[in-house]
């Protein structure tokens, strides 16, 4: 608007028309820290002309709101581009909504929640603006390049067109009861696990045992992603083995960075290392349970990890993960998912089949119910002996060389507020992990499920996602490009 009006001398109406027809707003998270608001005085000092234009956009927009919803001053205040409670602030998400012809979330559940929560008033005023475009990942990068062994095996069955037409993977279904092919499928996974083990040893001096189940959670460290729920399971499994319990051998692999100022996330990394130190040194159990934290997670390193995973951990609190894309990369490479009904997990489960997905945890609706009734994590802790034992050991300093103060902030947060409902989902997660262990022992069944995950993951190609942006939001159509010109 500033360029069109000031530098190109356009009148307001045609400039606004071009602006709104050009802009689209893709929301990537519902977390409050991502919905930016900027203090008005700061804005005025740095971008005085932009603020002037924003206030004019707001004046015209609020007039339209009043016309659409007469005598609803609360609504006008909520939809205003300026938050006038306390120090005035510019609401960037509201501005993006008003200035765009299309607004979308990045998975169906996330797009639905957008309309029900943070952008509810906007969706009620202009329902046709709102759409969904479920994310996708590049099959060239995350299958063809990252997993050449599996790519070659796939090409044998479905031909070499699958990287540009990922639904062709469906033809793999014809092979899921072919014993020889299933054995080769397992051999590729084993080779990828050995390759990751060799890298971990060479680059970081970390020993991974390739004959164990690789149970992997790699993603940014955040409380809503619940790496600490995974840790609670690790401690419970450790205690189960110490009591003489049975379970297939596992290596629980973590990776991910914390934001520099996010203290709790850094403490979760410390907790993973604290538990790993004790578990990995215990000669009574360390042939059956190991914990590894792979440092320096970036896309290049992640490309070694996804192809080596047996189990994909997608365990965020329902309603918190907008989409996730790691979930797609794992399933594409034949990992089975243990996950909640969150983000694109919902659609992955629909595609691969509920019988090929390990589901646990409360739904968004159940969480809303529990919170409305007054959620009391302490009561769950009191009544669940395994949770009491796992949290108790952490609180007592067993994983911090006897220092009970180190992890006290995590323990206290879980017992007092537990904003991400780890306690509520703990038993369901443990039960589901036990089912994972049982199925992992049935090699044929596991391989069949693995192959069906890859076969049915076609929807999650970035090609499909980009095509939807082209057709429904950008309104652009493909052009033929001669390779000679390139
Ligand atoms: C895909 C990817 C992510 C996103 O992972 P989620 O599990 O969806 O959070 C994060 N980091 C790296 C390096 C990735 O490759």
CA distance 48 to 466: 36
**Phi, psi dihedral angles at 323 (to 5 degrees):** -135, -55
Q: Is the CB of 106 under 6 A from ligand 1?
A: no
The percentage of the chain sitting over the pLDDT mark of 90, rounded to a whole number, equals: 97
Q: Which CATH number applies to 139-468?
A: 3.40.50.2000
Q: Is the CB of 324 under 6 A from ligand 1?
A: yes
The alpha-helical segments, DSSP class H, found in 23-116 are 40-46, 48-68, 73-79, 92-98, 108-116
**Binning pLDDT at 50, 70 and 90, where does residue 33 land?**
confident
Q: What share of the chain is helix, strand, coil (3-state, %, to 5)?
A: 60, 10, 30
Exposure of 408 by Cβ count < 10 A (0-12 exposed, 13-18 middle, 19+ buried)? middle
Distance 197 CA to ligand 1 centre (A): 20
* Residue to mutate, 224, 325, 328, 346, ligand 1, most ligand atoms under 8 Å from C-beta: 325
The DSSP code for 470 is: I
Q: Is the CB of 400 under 6 A from ligand 1?
A: no
CA distance 6 to 312: 52
Of all protein residues, the one whose alpha carbon is nearest to atom 4 of ligand 1 is 326
| Confidence at residue 182, expressed as pLDDT on a 0 to 100 scale | 98
Q: Is the CB of 329 under 6 A from ligand 1?
A: yes
Q: Is the CB of 299 under 6 A from ligand 1?
A: yes
**Binning pLDDT at 50, 70 and 90, where does residue 484 land?**
confident
Annotated active-site residue 480? The verdict is: no
Answer whether residue 186 shows pLDDT above 80. Answer: yes
Annotated active-site residue 225? The verdict is: yes
CA distance 130 to 111: 8
| Confidence at residue 32, expressed as pLDDT on a 0 to 100 scale | 84
Annotated active-site residue 325? The verdict is: yes
Q: Is the CB of 297 under 6 A from ligand 1?
A: yes
Q: Is the CB of 222 under 6 A from ligand 1?
A: no
Annotated catalytic residue within 193, 222, 250, 329: 329
Of all protein residues, the one whose alpha carbon is nearest to atom 7 of ligand 1 is 326
Q: For 426-460, what is each residue's pLDDT tens digit?
A: 999 999 999 999 999 999 999 999 999 999 999 99
Of all protein residues, the one whose alpha carbon is nearest to atom 12 of ligand 1 is 299
The whole-model pTM stands at 0.97
Distance 456 CA to ligand 1 centre (A): 21
Query: 311-314 and 336-339 as β-strands: parallel, antiparallel, unpaired?
Result: parallel
Q: For 276-328, what is each residue's pLDDT tens digit?
A: 999 999 999 999 999 999 999 999 999 999 999 999 999 999 999 999 999 99
Distance 227 CA to ligand 1 centre (A): 14
CA distance 25 to 186: 43
Q: Do residues 109 and 343 lie in contact, with contact meaning Cβ atoms separated by under 8 Å?
A: yes
As a whole number, mean pLDDT of residues 361-376 equals 98
| Confidence at residue 485, expressed as pLDDT on a 0 to 100 scale | 65
Report the nearest atom of ligand 1 relative to the CA of 218. Answer: 7
Of all protein residues, the one whose alpha carbon is nearest to atom 14 of ligand 1 is 299
Answer whether residue 196 shows pLDDT above 90. Answer: yes
Other Cβ atoms closer than 10 A to 449: 20
Domain chopping of the chain, boundaries: 2-102, 139-468
As a whole number, mean pLDDT of residues 39-52 equals 97
As a whole number, mean pLDDT of residues 105-128 equals 97
The answer to whether the Cα torsion of 170, 175, 176, 182 is positive or negative is negative
Annotated active-site residue 266? The verdict is: no
Of all protein residues, the one whose alpha carbon is nearest to atom 10 of ligand 1 is 219
CA distance 370 to 374: 6
Task: Give, rounded to a whole angstrom, the gap between the first and last alpha carbons of the chain.
Answer: 35
| Confidence at residue 486, expressed as pLDDT on a 0 to 100 scale | 62
């Amino acid at each position: 608007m500033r360029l069109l009006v000031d530098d190109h001398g356009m009148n307001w109406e045609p400039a606004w028309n071009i602006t709104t027809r050009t802009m689209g707003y893709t929301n990537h998270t519902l977390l409050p820290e991502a919905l930016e608001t900027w203090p008005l005085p700061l804005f005025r000092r740095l971008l005085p002309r932009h603020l002037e234009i924003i206030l004019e956009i707001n004046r015209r927009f609020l007039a339209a709101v009043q016309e659409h919803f007469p005598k609803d001053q609360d609504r006008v205040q909520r939809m205003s581009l300026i938050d006038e409670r306390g120090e005035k602030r510019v609401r960037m998400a509201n501005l993006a909504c008003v200035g765009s012809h299309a607004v979308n979330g990045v998975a169906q559940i996330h797009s639905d929640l957008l309309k029900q929560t943070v952008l509810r008033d906007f969706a009620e005023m202009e329902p046709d603006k709102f759409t969904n475009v479920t994310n996708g990942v590049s099959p060239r990068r995350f299958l063809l390049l990252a997993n050449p062994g599996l790519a070659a095996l796939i090409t044998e069955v479905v031909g070499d067109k699958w990287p540009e037409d990922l639904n062709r993977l469906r033809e793999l279904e014809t092979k899921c009861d072919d014993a020889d092919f299933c054995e080769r499928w397992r051999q590729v996974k084993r080779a990828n696990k050995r390759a990751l083990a060799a890298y971990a040893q060479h680059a970081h001096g970390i020993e991974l045992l390739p004959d164990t189940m690789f149970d992997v959670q790699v993603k940014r460290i955040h409380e809503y992603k619940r790496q600490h729920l995974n840790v609670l399971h690790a401690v419970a499994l450790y205690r189960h083995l110490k009591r003489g319990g049975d379970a297939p051998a596992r290596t629980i692999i973590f990776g991910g960075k914390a934001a520099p100022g996010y203290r709790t996330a850094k403490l979760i990394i410390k907790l993973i290392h604290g538990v790993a130190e004790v578990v990995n040194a215990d000669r009574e159990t360390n042939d059956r349970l190991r914990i590894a934290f792979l440092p320096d997670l970036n896309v290049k390193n992640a490309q070694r990890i996804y192809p080596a995973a047996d189990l994909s951990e997608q365990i965020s609190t329902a309603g918190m993960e907008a989409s996730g894309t790691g979930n797609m990369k794992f399933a594409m490479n034949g990992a089975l998912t243990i996950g909640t009904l969150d983000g694109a997990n919902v659609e992955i489960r629909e595609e691969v089949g509920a019988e090929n997905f390990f589901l646990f945890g409360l739904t968004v609706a159940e969480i809303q119910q529990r919170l409305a009734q007054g959620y009391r994590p302490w009561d769950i802790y009191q009544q669940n002996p395994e949770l009491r034992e796992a949290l108790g050991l952490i609180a007592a300093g067993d994983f911090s060389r006897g220092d009970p103060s180190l992890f006290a902030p995590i323990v206290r947060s879980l017992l007092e507020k537990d904003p991400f409902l780890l306690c509520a989902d703990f038993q369901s997660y443990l039960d589901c992990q036990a089912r994972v262990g049982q199925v992992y022992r049935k090699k044929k069944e596991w391989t069949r499920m693995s192959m069906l995950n890859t076969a049915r993951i076609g929807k999650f190609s970035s090609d499909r996602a980009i095509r939807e942006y082209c057709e429904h939001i950008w309104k652009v159509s493909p052009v033929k490009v001669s390779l000679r010109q390139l």
